[in-house]
Chains A and B, each alone.
Chain A
């Protein structure tokens, strides 16, 4: 059964992921200009600000759309990010050896999202919300909001930018470049991963999926 494949991510999730991450990349790059003065020429005449706002609109609207179209899955997904157990702690302890040395002895079997992915997912939600709230204030309440509030909005926006930006690199790296994460990319690109990869990397989830093969998770 080495060629057997299981569906990891359904199409709506994948579309959500790619559109949202596309928006994030746009937002990230247009925001990065503020941190790298040498790139400021790109921002002249505020074109990056226009692009940033278009990106922001997508960044806000797409998850909301998903929420409207598939509320159950959305709620389940969000819940997942906030559900942490002992296994997750073990995973975090074992992760460095695994990711550097490929030593997976201590790694507990993982669900659909391993603890690392869950951490990323958690940060995506928290940072996303902070981004959106602070961004909306800066966008629409610039004249109405008191200067001090605005300042802290700018500050928070920048803080989450750093956090999310750093984590984004990690996510990109693990998803695309890390030698062991061979199929993570495929999972999000095509939706399917090999059963072997699923068993190795998401053991717990694979068991569940195998049990209810006829009914993949919604």
Chain B
């Protein structure tokens, strides 16, 4: 199966946030409303910004980020999508101890909510600060959540041949979906077009980052201006965890048991010899 990708075009996005609503609606995620009964959820209130809810959350898999930038008297208002980037070299997949997070046949990162043990190792492992843990802080009973690329269990749009819900709803057509190769081509064309119209800083983000993201961004300025990591990397500790610690653990544990077994055999043999 060919790899799929979403192409987000910041030059077309008007931050209407239809994607935020449809994401919750399709995936059956609760809204966070300012009511006393909202329990452990964060109550929302206007914080003097268009951005709400305040951050990604177990129930909020996508959120638009608004950045005001003023330079030499010219105001700009930059909009960015904050959601899972579905990296090829995915920190969360590396960190996940039991394969709950995995790359599906489309190259995007799915997860099996049933097997999630709630360890939360995926959270600091993500260069984009995307996964969120919902659960009880004291007991540690928890589940991780993030954008599923609309492969949510029981609500899988991709397998049914549909585009992700956010792409489907986007009124200004800032989101496109298709085979990743085609999206890269489309993204490059958009960047070339923007450059030809005087947007010198236009660039395609995600083509090569982390060996290729499955959510590509057409940006009109450097990723940093949008609050995106300029050179995202899976943190060293995460690489160490899966690539070093787990094998070393196995090796050390195995060697220890092996050594002790040998010792037992030798020592017992000697003890018997002495008895004789």
Residues on A lying within 8 angstroms of B by beta carbon are 33-35, 37, 40-41, 43-50, 52-53, 99-102, 138-140, 142, 147-148, 150-152, 154-155, 158-159, 161-163, 165-166, 169-170, 173, 177-180
Contact = CB atoms under 8 A, between A and B. Distances in A.
Nearest to B255: A166
A52 to B, nearest CB: 7
B40 interface: no
9 contacts: A33-B98, A34-B117, A44-B114, A46-B140, A50-B141, A158-B241, A162-B252, A179-B268, A179-B270
A34 B119 contact: yes
B267 A50 contact: no
B133 interface: yes
A138 B133 CA distance: 13
Contacts of A177: 260, 264
Contact of B123 (A37, A147, A158, A163): A147
A40 B126 CA distance: 22
Given A53-B138, A100-B263, A180-B267, 15 more contacts: A33-B98, A44-B114, A46-B118, A46-B140, A48-B117, A49-B119, A49-B139, A52-B140, A102-B274, A147-B124, A147-B126, A154-B121, A169-B260, A177-B264, A179-B268
Report the interface size class on chain B.
35 or more
A49 B141 contact: yes
B232 interface: no
Contacts of B230: none
Contact of B135 (A46, A147, A155, A173): A46
What are the 6 tightest A-B residue pairs by CB atom distance, in nearest-first order? A40-B98, A151-B237, A49-B140, A147-B124, A43-B117, A34-B97
A71 B260 CA distance: 36
A120 B142 CA distance: 34
B90 to A, nearest CB: 15
Nearest to A173: B260
A157 B245 CA distance: 10
B248 interface: yes
B44 interface: no
A142 B123 CA distance: 9
A142 B120 CA distance: 9
Q: Which of B118, B249, B255, B257 has the most CB of A within 10 A?
A: B249
Nearest to B247: A35
B237 A155 contact: yes
Contacts of B123: 142, 147, 150
Contacts of A161: 249
B246 interface: yes
A179 B273 CA distance: 12
Interface in B65-95: none
Contacts of A147: 123-124, 126, 129, 235
B237 A46 contact: no
B273 to A, nearest CB: 9
A177 B267 CA distance: 11
Interface in B170-201: none
A47 B143 CA distance: 12
A180 B270 CA distance: 10
